[in-house]
Structure 1
C-alpha cells in the first residue's frame, strides 16, 4: 500500500513502477473529478485503491468514484482527535458489496471485535504497532 498524498495521475504510474499493489486516495484533498480519474487509472493498471473518508459526504463521493475499498478514518483531520465511533456512524452508508476498512485508533483486540460487529471487513493498524515495545507480541494480541 502506497500511503502518501496522491493527487496526480503521474503518481499512480509511479506507484505501479515502484511495485505497489494498492494506493491510498484521501477524498478530503481531491475533487470528485480527480478522485474518479485516479480510481479509474489505478484499476486499469491493476492497482487497488483504499479511498479514505471522514464524513457522510466523503462516503457518498467514494461510492460514486467506484472505489472497491473504502476506509473510514476515525481521526478528525482538524483536531487530530480519534473517535472509533466514526466507523459505527459511517459503515451503514457503504454498500455491502464494497470492502469497508476502519482506520486509526485501533489499539486492542476488543476494538477489532467491536468493529467486526459493526460490519467492518478489515482494519488498518499503524500507531498501535509502531509504538509497541514488542511488535510481534502486539500483532499476536490483536490477532488472537
Structure 2
C-alpha cells in the first residue's frame, strides 16, 4: 500500500534543507501587510455548517480534477459568490499541482479568509503564506513532532496567522493545546492510504477542545453528506468542488444544506 504522507513529507523536508532564503529576509516588512479576515471567526459566525471550499488541481491518488491551466481566481470567486465562509488553496506542487502563486492570486480576488493547505515543516513557509495573503495555515499532526507543532504554531501566531491543526485520531488531540489551535480539523481521509472513513469525524467530535472552531475535512461528496456532521462549525470540501462543472451551483447547494444543519446543543462559546 502506498504511504502518501511519508513520501510527501519527506519531499518537503528535503526541499526545506535545500532552501537558502533566510527567515530574516522573509520577515522584513511583514507587519506592514494587512491581515486577512479570521477563519475561526468566520466558522463560528456561521448560522449552520459553514462551507470552506477548496481549490486543488489534482491529488496523488486520483490524478487531475481540472485542466492544469484552470484559473484559480475564477473558481474561488464563484465559491465566494455562492456563500462559502472561507477558501482553502492547496499549494503543494509535485503531488497536488498547486503553487503559492495560486494562493496569492486567490487573495487578490476574494475577501474571504484563505487557508494555505500544504505539508508545512519549515517556519519560512509560514512567512511565505502570510506574504501571499493567507489568513491561516494548515499544520498536520501526523506529519510533525510535538515540538515542531508548538514551534511552528508559535511562529504562525507571532506573524498574524491562525493555525488549523489537522488531526486524524484522538491520540493527536494533545497537540491542539501545544498549538493553541484556532481551528481543529478532523480529516476523514487516511493520509497514508488516502482512503476515506466517513465515521471518523463523528467519533472524534465529542473530544474536541471547546476553545477552537471545529472543522470536518474530506469525505463530502454532496449536500446529503452534511447531515452527519452536526456539531461541527464547518466542513472543508475539495474534490466535489473541483470536479463540479458549475462550481457556483455546487457550492451554493452545499451552503444551503449546511445552513439547515443545526449545531449541537453543546456548541462551544462563540466569539
| CA distance in 2: counterparts of 1:73 and 1:114, whole angstroms | 14
| CA distance in 1: counterparts of 2:178 and 2:206, whole angstroms | 16
Q: Does 1:52 align with 2:52?
A: no
Moved over 3 A (4+): none
Please report how far the alpha carbon of residue 64 of structure 1 lies from its aligned counterpart in structure 2 after TM superposition: 3.2
CA-based RMSD: 1.2
Unaligned runs of 5+ in 1: none
Q: What residue is the counterpart of 2:239 in the other structure? A: 127
Q: What residue is the counterpart of 2:253 in the other structure? A: 141
2:136 touches 2:164 (CA, 8 Å); kept in 1? yes
| CA distance in 1: counterparts of 2:121 and 2:207, whole angstroms | 25
| CA distance in 1: counterparts of 2:240 and 2:177, whole angstroms | 29
| Greater relative CO (CA pairs within 8 A, separation 6+) | 2
Please give the per-residue CA displacement for 1:18-59, whole angstroms capped at 9, x wherever unaligned: 221111111111111110111111111110111111111112
| CA distance in 2: counterparts of 1:59 and 1:32, whole angstroms | 11
Q: Does 1:114 align with 2:228?
A: yes
Unaligned runs of 5+ in 2: 1-114, 257-271
| CA distance in 2: counterparts of 1:9 and 1:105, whole angstroms | 30
Task: Identify which of 180, 185, 191 aligns with 1:71.
Answer: 185
- Number of residue-to-residue matches in the alignment: 142
Normalising by the residue count of structure 1, what TM-score does the alignment of the two structures yield?
0.92
Q: What residue is the counterpart of 1:14 in the other structure? A: 128
| CA distance in 2: counterparts of 1:17 and 1:143, whole angstroms | 29
Normalising by the residue count of structure 2, what TM-score does the alignment of the two structures yield?
0.50
Larger radius of gyration, structure 1 or 2?
2
Task: Identify which of 113, 118, 125 aligns with 1:4.
Answer: 118
